[in-house]
Amino acid sequence: MSEGILVKVKELLEPILLERNLTLEDLEYVNEGKNYFLRVYIDKDGGVDLTECSIVSEQLSEKLDEHDPIKEAYYLEVSSPGAEKPLKTAQDFAMHVGKNVYVSLYVHIDGEKEYEGILTDFSNNIATVNYKFKHRMKQVQIPYDKIAKARLAVVL
C-alpha cells in the first residue's frame, strides 16, 4: 500500500523540487503508533533552511489535497536530512568522498563492526575509510554489501 502512495507523492513532488532547484533525499510513509507520517527530506548545495522547507510543505500540501492519494489522516513533515545525513546508496557514498562518516557493519572487518573517519575513496563498491586508532591513522576497506548503516558524522 505505501509503495503506491510513495510513487504518487513523488510524482506530485518532483515539479515543486525542480522549480526550486532542490533534490529529494528521502521519502517515507510510516505508521508510528496511532499516527501516519509522510516525511519528505529535501536538500540542495549549501543546504536548505526552514523557509525553504515551509514553502515546499505548503505547495506539496496543496497538491496532496487536490489529488488525495492518501485516504487516512496523516502528518506531513518536510525537512532537511540534517548534518548527519544517512548514506543509503552507492551514489551517496561516491558523492561524499572526503567527508567524515560513521559506518556500522553486518560483519566484523579487522575486528570491528563500527568505523568513524574520513571516506577517502569509493570505487568498485568498496568504501575506504581512514580512521584514528590509538593515536595512529589506519585505513579499512569496506565492501558496500557489508554496510548495515552509514551516515555523515559531525566532527566536534
The pLDDT value recorded for residue 47 is: 85
Segments of 44-86 assigned E as strands = 75-79
Share of the chain above pLDDT 90, in %: 83
| Phi, psi of 100, rounded to the nearest 5 degrees | -80, 130
Question: Containing H/E element for 66?
Answer: helix 50-67
SS3 state at 146: helix
Distance (Å, whole) CA 55 – CA 14: 14
The pLDDT value recorded for residue 138 is: 95
User: What's the angle, vertex CA 107, arms to CA 103 and CA 112, rounded to 5?
Assistant: 60
User: What's the angle, vertex CA 34, arms to CA 53 and CA 58, rounded to 5?
Assistant: 20
pTM attached to this predicted model:
0.72
Share of the chain above pLDDT 70, in %: 99
Distance (Å, whole) CA 102 – CA 149: 8
Other Cβ atoms less than 10 A from the Cβ of 8: the count is 16
The pLDDT value recorded for residue 1 is: 53
pLDDT at 81 over 90: no
The pLDDT value recorded for residue 3 is: 84
Segments of the chain assigned E as strands = 23-32, 35-43, 75-79, 100-109, 112-123, 126-133, 136-143, 147-152
- Domains, the chain, with CATH or none: 2-79 (3.30.300.70), 90-152 (2.30.30.180)
User: What tens digit of pLDDT does each residue of 87-142 get?
Assistant: 989 999 998 999 999 999 999 999 999 999 999 999 999 999 999 988 999 999 99
Query: What mean pLDDT value characterizes the chain?
Result: 93
The pLDDT value recorded for residue 2 is: 75
The pLDDT value recorded for residue 82 is: 84
User: What tens digit of pLDDT does each residue of 40-59 get?
Assistant: 999 988 889 999 999 999 99
Are the C-beta atoms of residues 40 and 30 closer than 8 Å to each other?
no
| Phi, psi of 74, rounded to the nearest 5 degrees | -155, 165
